[in-house]
Amino acid sequence: MGEPVTAYSLLFDHVATRIDAERAHDLGFRAVRAGAPLTGRLPRPGRPVEAMGLSFPNVLGVAAGFDKNAVGIDALAALGFGHVEVGTVTGEGQPGNPKPRLFRLPADRAVVNRMGFNNDGAEVVARRLAARAAGLPDGGPEPRPVLGVNIGKTKVVPDDDQAAVEADYAKSTRLLAPHADYLVVNVSSPNTPGLRNLQAVEKLQPLLEHVRRTADTVTSRRVPLVVKIAPDLADDDVLAVADMALTIGLDGIIATNTTTSRAGLASPDAEVEAIGDGGLSGRPVRERALEVTRLLRGRLGSGTTIIGVGGITTPEDARERLAAGADLLQGYSAFVYEGPLWPRRVLAGTGSPVTPG
């Protein structure tokens, strides 16, 4: 079943696609924040979901990459998202890769990015999160969104220096874990040189153990720890990550990040080649992300949370991912293509009716 034709989709297809993708994202995000006083009055969609010892207002969240610097958490929640994952945040602020670095493939309902972890850095984001927390009212009729903080490697830190990598992630952890409902270690973006090498279990396990110890030293509560993996891992490597997660008591796995594959795209080859390198997200990732979810759930059993992301566009996609074993869902590319009403449509179609506000 295709997605419904809406005023937003017509506007996107005929106007937004004429604007540079990164500029369009920035303008759209500003509009989301400006509209928050109105959207925040709408009823909260969905039913609560328990995962990782946390209560999520509903099953659907915003994937990392949309709000890199934690500037629109509550505005995104006002659209209906039950959790918002900010970042990826690195230990040091960095400009990311040269522009242009964000591209659309409308024929595939896909996005290609090679942003390169552009962000303000852990110190600035931590101050921003502290200021947000201080300004939040106590109680209120609506549950607050669950806040995930996604951390990654600073580009200048060599991936083959394990001690330096651990120190870099530890800095982000010390600063950000106190503000996070859950913490994500991102080792799967294709846009930071060498980062995906850290997915090898012999490097990943000590890194996660170090982050776990660091988080425990700076928080009085146990902050759930999650790892985000790539769809390009071989099946055996996916299962090895699952085994490692069970060994160290990891709270969850996000399946999956973007892919470097360009197989099976409907977009013309010349258009794809002109864009060049970067991580592909959106509809083309759906099948592999679904496969990885099934692999993980089969290996993990029921005790470890799986957050399903990648190509979830329709309510049918969402139901399929949940049936495959995901406990929670996230979106990015479909949100870009389908607009601000998309989270409510997906939640309504997954058997999660709107709860009176």
Q: Which residues are annotated as a binding site for FMN?
A: 64-68, 88, 150, 186, 228, 256, 282, 311, 332-333
Annotated active-site residue in 9, 55, 188, 189: 189
Cα separation, 116 vs 78, whole angstroms: 28
Cα separation, 230 vs 288, whole angstroms: 10
Can you state the angle between helices 342-349 and 315-324, rounded to 10 degrees?
A: 60
281 a catalytic residue: no
Cα separation, 3 vs 345, whole angstroms: 10
- Feature table: binding site for substrate: 68, 113-117, 186, 191, 257-258
**How far, in Å, are 13, 47, 157, 276, 277 from residue 23 at the CA level?**
16, 34, 29, 19, 19
Confirm if 342 and 331 have CB atoms less than 8 A apart.
yes
Within 43-139, strands assigned E span 44-45, 49-51, 54-56, 60-62, 83-90, 102-105, 110-113
Phi then psi dihedrals of residue 38, to 5 deg: -85, -50
Phi then psi dihedrals of residue 356, to 5 deg: -55, 135
Q: Where are the alpha helices (DSSP H) in the chain?
A: 7-14, 21-34, 36-39, 73-78, 122-135, 162-176, 201-218, 235-248, 269-275, 286-300, 315-324, 333-338, 342-349
Cα separation, 166 vs 188, whole angstroms: 16
- Feature table: binding site: 64-68, 88, 113-117, 150, 186, 191, 228, 256-258, 282, 311, 332-333
Active site residues: 189
